[in-house]
């Protein structure tokens, strides 16, 4: 029987049990109440309030501009839409890199003001003191290695990471450090599938992949990509489950046409 069916609110312990039972973990981003409610009721196990909100909600080119206040606004709405999913919130750029106290203060604001269940933080060795301090305050932490979009200007491109041995070895070291520090899971973004599988087998805690192959313990996608709202983004790892761009465009065009032709509202659609 699926472990998934036996639970009420998903916790970090449930997520570990899913890995231990060999059941894959589902994770999807959400940024508002209505979509969070839909995803929660559909059975999504983890909802990530990703700083990809900077791109898909605010229209920025990168994730760097989004602020802690803006992440808190999105996360508060998402939490209200969920009864079952574990809600994890990204620490945005500039709110944790200073030192571990800054990281803890940003985390405390998220936990107090949103009701979320944990945070995600990008990086390995360089942020390990912050990870330890947040976990020692009792807050679950999800790591994030591989392509870490907050470092886009260091990388220069959104290409696959850790193809070379040196970077793959650093990623493996960082994954071990994050596990030892107490992270409950790690996102692996855009790395070779072989490395994704190796890290997933090496770690006791679950890995959640995005463009990191089927060997990861779970998968995550950005909701706008999965639903096909964004028609300009076609990375190889993406499977689109809907073409909402066309569906919405057609619906809106039909509405405009109905208003212009005086077909809407009709006799039944008025008081
Ligand atoms: O911000 C985000 O949506 C993410 C996922 C892509 C993992 O970090």
CA torsion, ordered 175, 179, 181, 185, to nearest 10 deg = 100
| Span from the CA of 237 to the centroid of ligand 1 (angstroms) | 14
User: Which of these is catalytic: 45, 179, 189, 197?
Assistant: 189
pLDDT digits (tens, 9 = 90+) for 109-147: 999 999 999 999 999 999 999 999 999 999 999 999 999
Q: Give the Å distance between the CA of 111 and the centre of ligand 1.
A: 19
Opening angle at CA 69, ends 78 and 87, nearest 5 = 25
Of ligand 1's listed atoms, the one at least distance from the Cα of 63 is 1
CATH of domain 3-240: 3.20.20.60
Least trusted range by pLDDT, from 6-20, 50-64, 171-185, 237-251: 6-20
**Ligand 1 atom nearest 50 alpha carbon:** 1
Q: Whole-angstrom Cα distance, residue 128 to residue 260?
A: 59
Coil vs helix vs strand at 46? strand
Would you state the pLDDT for residue 6? 52
Q: What is the pLDDT of residue 4?
A: 55
Gyration radius (Cα) of the chain, Å: 20
pLDDT of 215 over the 90 cut: yes
| pLDDT score of 1 | 47
Cα–ligand 1 centroid distance for 48 (angstroms): 7
**How far is C-alpha 98 from the chain's CA centre?**
23
When pLDDT is averaged across residues 216-233 and rounded to a whole number, the result is 96
Asked whether the predicted pLDDT for residue 181 surpasses 80, the reply is yes
From 94, 193, 202, 106, select the one nearest 150 (Cα to Cα). Answer: 94
Q: What is the pLDDT of residue 231?
A: 87
State how beta strands 118-120 and 86-90 pair. parallel
| Averaged pLDDT score across all residues of the chain | 97
Portion of the chain with pLDDT greater than 70, in percent: 97
Over 80: is that where the pLDDT of 166 sits? yes
To the query of whether residue 179 is one of the catalytic residues in this protein, the response is no
pLDDT at 208: 98
Average pLDDT over residues 153-170: 96
Give strand pairing partners of 188. 145, 209
Pocket of ligand 1 contains residue 53 by CB under 6 Å: no
The pTM for the full model equals 0.96
**Which one-letter DSSP state was computed for residue 268?**
G
- pLDDT in the model for residue 3: 60
If phi > 0 it is left, if psi is from -120 to 50 it is alpha, else beta; for residue 240 that is beta
Decide if pLDDT at 152 tops 90: yes
- Interstrand relation of 25-29 and 46-49 (parallel, antiparallel or unpaired): parallel
> Can you tell me the distance from the alpha carbon of 257 to that of 227, in angstroms, rounded to the nearest whole number?
25
pLDDT surpassing 70 at residue 5: no
* Model confidence band, residue 52 (pLDDT cutoffs 50, 70, 90): very high
Cα atoms found within 13 Å of the Cα of residue 47, Cβ hemisphere only = 34
Average pLDDT over residues 159-171: 97
| All structural domains of the chain with their residue ranges | 3-240
């Amino acid at each position: 029987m699926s472990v998934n069916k036996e639970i009420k609110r998903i916790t970090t312990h449930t997520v570990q049990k899913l890995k231990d039972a060999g059941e894959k973990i589902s994770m999807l981003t959400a940024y508002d109440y209505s979509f969070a409610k839909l995803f929660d009721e559909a059975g999504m196990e983890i909802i990530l309030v990703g700083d990809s909100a900077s791109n898909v909600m605010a229209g920025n080119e990168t994730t760097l501009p989004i602020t802690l206040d803006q992440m808190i606004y999105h996360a508060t709405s998402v939490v209200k839409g969920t009864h079952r999913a574990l809600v994890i919130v990204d620490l945005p750029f500039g709110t944790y890199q200073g030192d571990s106290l800054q990281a803890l203060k940003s985390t405390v604001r998220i936990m107090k003001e949103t009701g979320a269940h944990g945070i995600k933080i990008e990086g390995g060795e360089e942020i390990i003191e912050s990870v330890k301090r947040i976990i020692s305050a009792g807050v679950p932490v999800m790591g994030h290695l591989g392509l870490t979009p907050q470092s886009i200007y260091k990388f220069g491109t959104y290409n696959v990471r850790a193809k070379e041995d040196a970077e793959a070895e650093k990623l493996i070291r960082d994954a071990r450090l994050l596990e030892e520090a107490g992270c409950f899971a790690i996102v692996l973004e855009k790395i070779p599938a072989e490395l994704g599988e190796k890290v997933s087998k090496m770690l006791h805690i679950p890995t959640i992949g995005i463009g990191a192959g089927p060997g990861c313990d779970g998968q995550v996608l950005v909701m706008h990509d999965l639903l096909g709202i964004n028609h300009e983004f076609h990375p190889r790892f993406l499977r689109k489950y809907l073409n909402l761009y066309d569906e919405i465009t057609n619906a809106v065009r039909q509405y405009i046409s109905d208003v212009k032709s005086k077909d809407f509202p009709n006799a039944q659609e008025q008081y």
